[in-house]
Structure 1
Amino acid sequence: MSHLDRIRGPKDLGDLSPRELAELAAEIRASLITNVSATGGHLGPNLGVVELTIALHRVFDSPTDPIIFDVGHQAYVHKMLTGRTGQLPTLRQRGGLSGYPSRAESEHDWVENSHASTALSWAEGLAKGFRLQGVDRTVVAVVGDGALTGGMTWEAMNNISADDDLPLIIVANDNGRSYTPTVGGVARALSPVRTDRRYEDVLDLLRRSVSSTPVIGKAAYEWLHGVKAGLKDVLNPQGLFADLGMKYVGPIDGHDIEAVEYALTQAKGYGGPVIVHVRTQKGHGFTAAVNHEEDQFHAVGQIDPVTGKSKATSGGTSWTSVFADALLHEGKQHPGLVAVTAAMMYPTGLHKFHQTFPERTFDVGIAEQHAVTSAAGLAASGMHPVVAIYSTFVNRAFDQVLMDVALHKQGVTFVLDRAGITGPDGPSHHGMWDLSLLGLVPGLQLWAPRDATRLTEALAAAVQVSDAPTVLRFPKGTVGEELPAVATRKGMDVLAAAAEPRVLVVGYGPMAAVALQVGEQLDAQGISTTVIDPVRALPVNPELVEVAAEHELVISIEDGGEVGGLGARLAQEMRAAGVSVPLREFGVPQAFHDHASRDEVLAECGLSAQQIARYAVETVSRSDHAGVAEVTLP
């Protein structure tokens, strides 16, 4: 039986020798590579924290001592050491292991954190609460250096540094990367220690000296760490963390379990907040990951566990790549166009624009609020910024969109990738909140393109708007087939039209394809329909209200939250215009939906063509009293 097979919980780590711990680390890496290669997931970050996570669970008593990972996608090893190794083959699958900490899975998961820069605030609150209750617990926050670029981290740090006896350990996991190399002043401050060969050479000498001593002992280790601290001060005079007035330990080799354990034990005994600076390598132990220049396998789909090559077959062009090409085209036409990203150059498709216009591309780190207000400033200066961001992350900057962009009538275009249901990443990453939030913003214009042509056209239209925020949203995955209009009506695309139609089906974005399927099923049952894509979803086109008045029933279909969504806005406009035609909004129910494939979640939300068409048939039949309700849909 392997060491990993015998680990049922953190207490099983206590009796392992240094040799056995090293063997365990190798077994964990092999299991990660095998399983995540099959399921997809965040491979690189977890390969980098194997030894660190082992040391954490040997020094601290989880779950009594909460261990909070920022960001939670680096918690796979934590899951394995807390009894969930057997579930790893189900990672990110429907009903399987979550790709982030999950309180439903284990008492060892305190916070379901999957957005960056929140762990220190959670940890500070927990530590204060335990102290107030007289409970002897230590809280540990593992914070990646990418998360240190987020403003919320420093708001928390400001409060932590003023509390001398707070039982809190901050592990700064410094691998030089978030998705891609970490940017900004934090990265520059850490870089001297991370890269200076004098530090590495002297540290190797010290290690050899200590290892040659018959009995290493506590004194030798104290001497080693004391010299390291001196080297750190010489090579990194900025004293990034020490200047906060907090105890600082490091940098420590994050792949040396014994060294990390010693540092964590010392920090735990201090009795107040301590920063332990740990250097790790993303993708450590997997050559294909380490050598992957783009993101060191930050997140992968199904890959070959030996070569690291993708197993995915060509399934068509992705929405992101269509946007990438369209943005580059617009950039060549408009010298004032600039691009802004929050540490996600490749995932949001800005890399092509950056390769051609590096001076017009700005990566601000994991700092969405700053990204938006900085974009407002760029717009005020006469430029037109395109802020490319995941839909779920625009939630974090809503106030800036409202008050800094919209209030000041600045022309900023927001491109929301991963809008709607995203699938395996689960409730925190489903982009289902943007429509409900952004619909509140006065003057905002929003496009939800149904195909590649409409995406390209929408971007061209959006970047021409200079006095209001504009938004494009599209889902994760491949673009479907082109859906040409059979007619247009005052800016709207009519996708299907029958004589004397009774039901109007309005489809937004990729749900326009579902709307067409609904229309086909209704027509097959003798219920004539009109299918319309409004093209520009917000503000509501007055012509759409007039079209609605010409029908007996209106159905709207969107892959965003149904409360306050596009259908709800249409219903509101219809009421205001005195149109009494019933409208049924089909969208994503306001709930935290578990991880599964996009199609599985949409079906669970009642957003399949079959489910929607059945509702329409039953509604019309009740109106007609003609027995149509007994018709069975195919």
Structure 2
Amino acid sequence: MDLTKIDNPSFIKQFDKQQLNELAEDIRHFLVEKLSVTGGHIGPNLGVVELTLMLHKVFDSPGDKILWDVGHQAYVHKILTGRARDFDTLRQFNGLCGFPKMNESEHDVWEAGHSSTSLSAAMGMAVARDIKGDKNYVIPVIGDGALTGGMALEALNHIGHEKTNILVILNDNEMSIAPNVGALHTILGKLRTAGKYNSAKDELEYILKKIPAVGGRVASAAERVKDSLKYLLVSGVFFEELGFTYLGPVDGHDFSDLERNLQYAKKVDGPVLLHVITKKGKGYRPAEDDKIGTWHGTGPYKIETGDFVKSSSVAPSWSGLIADSISDLARVDKRIVAITPAMPVGSKLESFASEFPDRFFDVGIAEQHATTMAAGLATQGMKPFLAIYSTFLQRAYDQILHDISRQNLNVFIGIDRAGLVGADGETHQGVFDIAFLRHMPNLVIMMPKDENEGQHMVKTAIDYNDGPIALRYPRGNGLGVPLDERTYSIPIGSWEILREGSDAAILTFGTSIPMALEAAELLEEEGINVRVVNARFIKPLDTMMLDEIFSMKMPIMTVEEGVLAGGFGSAVLEYAHDVSYSEAPIQRMGIPDEFIEHGDVNELLAEIGMTANHLTQNVLSILPKKTVERGVV
């Protein structure tokens, strides 16, 4: 079938089982082919082909609300709702978004890039439906990994309490981005092997209905027998105790099994949880065989072999460099413990976990718990390294403020994917962490200019015992600079002059430093000498160096790959105000007050005016007229 000709999912309602199987095969072939070029979340989507087809066959989107938790598994939904023709642009600049997007389709009723939100959103939609007197179905689809998130458990508790008509689809593939952990994962494992419960319960109910009604005692006894059967066959009936009708487990690749249970669920009054077992990566052997989450989301790959198209960079990845530096120090410092909320692969902590199994903890999708657990460790003299993506650190704001910073605990926060990340788009851009961390008392924030300085900053963080310290580092690979054999601590709050100059100063850090140096070269061609400062400590500022620059009355340009509101530039302006400095202009460059969508990072930077040429023009705009004229002459 030509998938690019699909405009909406209504056609599927007339398909028989053979046609559905053929369509499923076409979709898997399409995904494997297209994603080999663009990259994307192939494993999750190959696993939900049959489930998505049957959801659109049984329900009527967009009247019935299908919500995709996280959105990693929404590609099949996008194909069925008329967007297959755009898959060549998936996750590219001005192209198809990798997550559900309301402005793409009326069938995308919820947008999410962070896990565990769908149940709460579904509750809101269901309540609105009931208030308005509508009759549509609300169907959140959530993975077993996302179900471990505290927000999802809060929503389950509320939905069950209110007895709201919601059909929760638990897509259980035993993995999220990495293999799942925790007691709830164990419960689901037991449920997977307890398939006899539902058929036995149904048979018992049928028999009981044949017994003549002889009073309440018989009915009460019958219910007790059913409950006993439940506890006999299913150890820990977690969902039913929460108030849900539990259905399953269902084979997520069997159309008949899916349709039968979905149709039954439509008739049940109150909340229903349909437990669907799927195979992540189904239909493509390299993805099926993945045991650690490598095929959850990928870059381009070779279809025939499954080999990834590697970057031409020979430099180490930032995540790998930081993780290796932590491991090096952990061999001699027994205080060091590493914690990750379900990102051991992304944060490159597999080697640490293997070498120090007793000092490594993957807590699942539970950023808040991970953060406060780190705080607890620190109270006992340990040195916890909390590896967490910038975008996910947003979920632990209160824990950093209340549990870590307020108690001034020695927690080392590794802020991975800081800055623009590209293809994952607005929900994953790591541009807010400076603004939401900078105002917290006691917290040190730093970012290295290259990987050599990065390893020294790891040493700095481990040696620092005066409170919490955060190290920001970007996605991707370093610059390929030589690494010192021995690491040392950098004085807290100290900046570094990378290039001397007296006409103006550019203050920046991290990934923006090459742009600043290039702009300084362009300005030198105009006869203008610009000082470039590696402002590697975002907090505290190097006030001694700022005082020196102020004394020279140089115009200042701050540059950051983070939001301008409340960012590093704001800190410099605040200090200038505090010391009543007004002798020369201070201008800022950074992320404007808007969400930055998906695309190549360089294209995104160009679109928002963050290039060497833009920086050059901005510096020229704040120079005194006589300085510009002198340079031109």
Per the normalisation by structure 1, the TM-score is: 0.91
* Cα offsets for 1:172-225 (capped at 9, x unmatched): 01111111111001101111233x4xx68x89x99xxxxxxxxxxxx9xxxxxx
Report the AA paired with residue 70 of structure 2: V
Q: How does 1:174-253 map to 2 (within 5 A)?
A: 174-194=172-192, 196=193, 234-253=232-251
For residues 521 and 303 of structure 1, the distance between their equivalents in structure 2, rounded to whole angstroms, comes to 39
The equivalent position to 2:313 in structure 1, one of 300, 312, 315, is 315
1:586 aligns with 2:584: no
> 1:253, 1:260 within 8 Å by CA — same for their partners in 2?
yes
Q: How does 1:163-562 map to 2 (within 5 A)?
A: 163-164=162-163, 166-194=164-192, 196=193, 234-295=232-293, 297-316=295-314, 317-482=316-481, 491-498=494-501, 501-549=502-550, 550-562=552-564
* Cα offsets for 1:381-431 (capped at 9, x unmatched): 111111001101111110110000011111111111111111010100000
Query: How many residue pairs are counted as aligned between the two chains?
Result: 599
For residues 294 and 475 of structure 2, the distance between their equivalents in structure 1, rounded to whole angstroms, comes to 21
Structure 1 residue ranges without an equivalent (≥5): 207-218, 220-228
> 1:507, 1:514 within 8 Å by CA — same for their partners in 2?
no
Residue 162 of structure 1 aligns to a residue whose secondary structure is helix
How far did 1:542 drift? Answer: 1.2
For residues 571 and 619 of structure 1, the distance between their equivalents in structure 2, rounded to whole angstroms, comes to 15
* Cα offsets for 1:514-560 (capped at 9, x unmatched): 11112111122111111111222211111132132124211111111
**Percent pairwise identity:** 37
Report the AA paired with residue 492 of structure 1: W
Query: CA distance change for structure 1 residues 481 and 266 in 2, over 3 Å: closer, same or farther?
Result: same
Q: How does 1:81-230 map to 2 (within 5 A)?
A: 81-164=80-163, 166-194=164-192, 196=193
Report the AA paired with residue 237 of structure 2: G
For residues 511 and 190 of structure 1, the distance between their equivalents in structure 2, rounded to whole angstroms, comes to 46
Query: CA distance change for structure 1 residues 313 and 103 in 2, over 3 Å: closer, same or farther?
Result: same
* Cα offsets for 1:339-388 (capped at 9, x unmatched): 01000001012212111101101111101011101110011111111100
How far did 1:245 drift? Answer: 2.0
Q: Which residue of 1 aligns with 2:602?
A: 599
> 1:193, 1:235 within 8 Å by CA — same for their partners in 2?
no
Query: CA distance change for structure 1 residues 44 and 235 in 2, over 3 Å: closer, same or farther?
Result: farther
For residues 232 and 481 of structure 1, the distance between their equivalents in structure 2, rounded to whole angstroms, comes to 60
Q: Which residue of 1 aligns with 2:224?
A: none
Pairwise CA RMSD:
2.4
For residues 266 and 309 of structure 1, the distance between their equivalents in structure 2, rounded to whole angstroms, comes to 43
The worse-fitting range, judged by mean Cα deviation, of 326-335 and 287-296 is 287-296
Report the AA paired with residue 21 of structure 2: A
For residues 263 and 557 of structure 1, the distance between their equivalents in structure 2, rounded to whole angstroms, comes to 56
For residues 35 and 596 of structure 1, the distance between their equivalents in structure 2, rounded to whole angstroms, comes to 17
How far did 1:3 drift? Answer: 6.2
How far did 1:594 drift? Answer: 1.3
Residue 414 of structure 1 aligns to a residue whose secondary structure is strand
Query: CA distance change for structure 1 residues 483 and 532 in 2, over 3 Å: closer, same or farther?
Result: farther
Query: CA distance change for structure 1 residues 489 and 290 in 2, over 3 Å: closer, same or farther?
Result: closer
Residue 127 of structure 2 aligns to a residue whose secondary structure is helix
The equivalent position to 1:564 in structure 2, one of 563, 566, 571, is 566
> 1:141, 1:170 within 8 Å by CA — same for their partners in 2?
yes
Report the AA paired with residue 310 of structure 1: F
> 2:438, 2:539 within 8 Å by CA — same for their partners in 1?
yes
For residues 163 and 387 of structure 1, the distance between their equivalents in structure 2, rounded to whole angstroms, comes to 37
Residue 172 of structure 1 aligns to a residue whose secondary structure is strand
For residues 587 and 493 of structure 1, the distance between their equivalents in structure 2, rounded to whole angstroms, comes to 21
Query: CA distance change for structure 1 residues 490 and 472 in 2, over 3 Å: closer, same or farther?
Result: closer
How far did 1:574 drift? Answer: 1.7
> 1:448, 1:536 within 8 Å by CA — same for their partners in 2?
yes
Per the normalisation by structure 2, the TM-score is: 0.91
Report the AA paired with residue 162 of structure 2: D
For residues 612 and 473 of structure 2, the distance between their equivalents in structure 1, rounded to whole angstroms, comes to 19
How far did 1:466 drift? Answer: 2.7
Report the AA paired with residue 95 of structure 1: N
Q: Which residue of 2 aligns with 1:609?
A: 612
For residues 490 and 353 of structure 1, the distance between their equivalents in structure 2, rounded to whole angstroms, comes to 29
For residues 553 and 585 of structure 1, the distance between their equivalents in structure 2, rounded to whole angstroms, comes to 11
The worse-fitting range, judged by mean Cα deviation, of 282-291 and 510-519 is 510-519
How far did 1:296 drift? Answer: 5.2
How far did 1:321 drift? Answer: 1.3
> 1:384, 1:466 within 8 Å by CA — same for their partners in 2?
no
How far did 1:312 drift? Answer: 2.1
> 1:37, 1:301 within 8 Å by CA — same for their partners in 2?
yes
Report the AA paired with residue 428 of structure 1: T
Q: Which residue of 2 aligns with 1:12?
A: 11
> 2:385, 2:412 within 8 Å by CA — same for their partners in 1?
yes
> 2:319, 2:347 within 8 Å by CA — same for their partners in 1?
yes
Query: CA distance change for structure 1 residues 357 and 231 in 2, over 3 Å: closer, same or farther?
Result: farther
Q: Which residue of 2 aligns with 1:226?
A: none
How far did 1:6 drift? Answer: 5.2
How far did 1:481 drift? Answer: 4.5
For residues 489 and 262 of structure 1, the distance between their equivalents in structure 2, rounded to whole angstroms, comes to 63
How far did 1:5 drift? Answer: 5.1
